[in-house]
Structure 1
Amino acid sequence: MKLGYYPDVVNENATRIVASSVVLLGVLAILFPNPIVLGILAVSFALRLSYGPKFEPVAFITSRWLVPLLKISFIPTAGPPKRFAQVIGFSFAVAAFALFHYGQWDAYKAVLGVLVFFASLESFLGWCAGCFVFGLLMKTGIIPADVCEKCNNLNFNKQQ
């Protein structure tokens, strides 16, 4: 297994469920600031960013057990934009951790508030801000088209 593998196609419904875990952890970290919840949030993003749902507990449980158990349909969506969104989420989690460490409480809550807001859009409305930005960056040529070549060649409806 190579380091940094992320699937070309992911289940949109599973990503929405996983986004709800970010909402929950983010709200908990705002209400009860502590390094443990922040660490879980940052490590979760890092694991999803590196390997998709393979090693991150919430994503793994969601994709392997919860989705089949609840008979949640597989709605394919492109993986690279979702990975880009994970990078942004990871950046916000690390920034929140640093702000927590340095006692910058207002900035800490603001950063987590933004993270919770955008995770809520993904979770409850199915709109991924990171995916939207990814699409804009592809249209402007900042992200080369071949980054998403495999997912563009698949025959499914894109959610972006």
Structure 2
Amino acid sequence: MIRIGNFPDTVNEYAARSVAALVVILSLSTIFTQSLWLAAALAYGFAARVLYGPKFSVFAKLAIHGIVPIFGLGNKTVAGPPKRFAQLVGLVFSGTAFALLYFGQIFFFQIVLGILVFFATLESVLGFCAGCFVFGFLIKWGLIPEEVCEKCNQLDFATKK
């Protein structure tokens, strides 16, 4: 039986950055082609990663079993819950972009996916996860209980003091 919500407690930072690079490529392809199929694939990938982690995500499988070992990127373990939150934000953006494209709102579709490209590029190139940054604030403000991310407490979030 498939268990929804089976996201790992920790993830490999280099795999996450590789997935972000693949998201940039697919997002740019979707912007330029205005393909509903590509937009749907993008949203599916985020949904799969939010619900199941890498289990049903083609990009995650490619990153974990292909990109990371081929390029010898190694393993840098980071907390999973902030990454899951970032994937949820990506799902909101990609789902919104899909709906905008479906209803013919091309300009707004391009803006929404452009924002997604910007933040996915920050993640893939610089290793800055904006969703993770926001997640740290949500914990600090008490909107997310600290128990959700016990491993996060061991990491140095810029928002934690």
TM-score range, shorter chain: over 0.9
Secondary structure in 2 aligned to 1:10? strand
Query: Structure 1 15/158 Cα, relative in aligned 2: closer, same or farther at 3 Å?
Result: farther
Displacement of 1:152 = 3.7
C-alpha separation between the residues in 1 aligned to 2:3 and 2:156?
A: 27
Displacement of 1:68 = 2.4
Matched, 1:105 2:106: yes
Displacement of 1:105 = 1.1
TM-score (norm. length: structure 2): 0.92
Matched, 1:95 2:99: no
Secondary structure in 2 aligned to 1:127? coil
Match of 1:82 in 2: 83
Q: How does 1:113-152 map to 2 (within 5 A)?
A: 113-149=114-150, 151-152=151-152
Q: Percent identity?
A: 47
Contact 1:78 1:158 in 2 (8 A): no
C-alpha separation between the residues in 2 aligned to 1:134 and 1:147?
A: 11
C-alpha separation between the residues in 1 aligned to 2:7 and 2:66?
A: 20
Runs (5+) with no aligned partner, structure 1 = none
Displacement of 1:158 = 4.7
Secondary structure in 2 aligned to 1:62? helix
Displacement of 1:69 = 3.0
Match of 1:17 in 2: 18
Displacement of 1:66 = 2.9
C-alpha separation between the residues in 1 aligned to 2:67 and 2:96?
A: 31
Matched length: 157
Match of 1:61 in 2: 62
Contact 2:18 2:67 in 1 (8 A): no
Contact 1:8 1:79 in 2 (8 A): yes
C-alpha separation between the residues in 2 aligned to 1:51 and 1:101?
A: 26
Contact 2:85 2:132 in 1 (8 A): yes
C-alpha separation between the residues in 1 aligned to 2:22 and 2:43?
A: 12
Displacement of 1:51 = 1.2
Match of 2:5 in 1: 4
For each residue in 1:46-103, what CA deviation from the matched residue of structure 2 results, as whole angstroms up to 9, or x when unmatched? 1111111122111112112332233221001110000000000000011001101111
Runs of 4+ in structure 1 over 4 Å off: 157-160
For each residue in 1:108-155, what CA deviation from the matched residue of structure 2 results, as whole angstroms up to 9, or x when unmatched? 100000000000000111000000000000001001000001x2466x
- RMSD in angstroms over aligned alpha carbons? 1.5
